[in-house]
């Protein structure tokens, strides 16, 4: 096991954002979380990373390094792309990761000179360069065109197969979740409803299998959404 959450609760300003949640992530497992906007997904990742304390419950991490692709990029504005990444890794690794996300031309640019999708890719490169046993990704492929998104997904899969890190992906895209994960967790508001889909190793599925998995996820999302109305 790489991370274990037991009975986690978190409220902001008296509003319950996570309520009695227990989740385990196994070593080398790829788990995705799908849920509506504002249901507490980013809050959960921050708790797992140790950036936020839950009000109650227990978080156990069985790994030394946790890499994080933040939803809002969090690049250092006064540092160039390469300096943002060498802040967490060695030069050689940083350069290689920037090349792998297709940003060699932008090496010496500042975040303010980048498009939204480019900033996303720098955030991904930084997390991959940092390495670690657990990769937390908060909508890492949002604002990417479909071809670039496919390339980034292939990169994550390749590195995961090579290094065997565990991963937790937050996404709004059921097909992306199906394509990447062995387990997908569909959550309702404040994580009060949690439904797990165990799809098995993604390498063993083809396009049509993934479309069927995505369909089941979509149905669950519709059910949860109708319960909220």
Name which of 66, 50, 43 is nearest 136 in CA terms. 66
Segment holding 153, helix H or strand E: helix 146-163
The least CB distance from residue 188 to ligand ATP, in Å, is 11
Q: Which is nearer to ligand ATP, 12 or 78 (CB)?
A: 12
End-to-end CA distance of the chain, in Å? 37
Q: Which is nearer to Mg ion, 140 or 166 (CB)?
A: 140
Q: Which is nearer to ligand ATP, 117 or 131 (CB)?
A: 117
Report the C-alpha dihedral over residues 45, 152, 104, 107, rounded to 10 degrees. -10
42 binds Mg ion (CB under 5 A): yes
Q: Which is nearer to ligand ATP, 85 or 188 (CB)?
A: 188
The least CB distance from residue 34 to ligand ATP, in Å, is 10
Nearest residue to Mg ion, scored by beta-carbon proximity: 42
Distance CA(90)–CA(103), nearest Å, equals 17
Window 22-41: contact mask with Mg ion (x via CB under 5 A) = -------------------x
Q: Which residues bind Mg ion (CB under 5 A)?
A: 41-42, 71
């Amino acid at each position: 096991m790489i991370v274990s959450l037991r009975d986690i609760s978190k409220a902001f300003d008296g509003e319950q954002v996570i309520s009695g949640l227990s989740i385990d992530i196994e070593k080398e497992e790829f788990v995705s979380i799908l849920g509506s906007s504002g249901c507490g997904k980013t809050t959960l990742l921050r708790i797992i990373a140790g950036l936020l304390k839950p009000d109650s419950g227990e978080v156990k991490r069985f790994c030394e390094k946790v890499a994080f692709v933040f939803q809002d990029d969090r690049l250092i504005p006064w540092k160039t792309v390469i300096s943002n990444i060498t802040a967490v890794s060695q030069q050689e690794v940083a350069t290689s990761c920037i090349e792998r996300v297709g940003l060699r031309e932008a090496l010496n640019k500042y975040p303010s000179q980048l498009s939204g999708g480019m900033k996303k890719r720098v955030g991904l490169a930084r997390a991959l360069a940092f390495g670690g046993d657990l990769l937390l990704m908060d909508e890492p492929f949002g604002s990417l065109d479909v071809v670039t998104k496919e390339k980034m997904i292939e990169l994550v899969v390749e590195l995961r197969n090579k290094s065997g890190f565990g991963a937790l992906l937050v996404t709004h895209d059921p097909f992306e979740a199906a394509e990447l994960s062995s387990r997908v967790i569909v959550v309702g508001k404040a994580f009060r409803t949690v439904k797990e889909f165990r799809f098995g190793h993604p390498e063993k599925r083809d396009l049509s299998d993934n479309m069927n998995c995505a369909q089941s996820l979509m149905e669950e999302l519709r059910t949860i959404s109708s319960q909220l109305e």
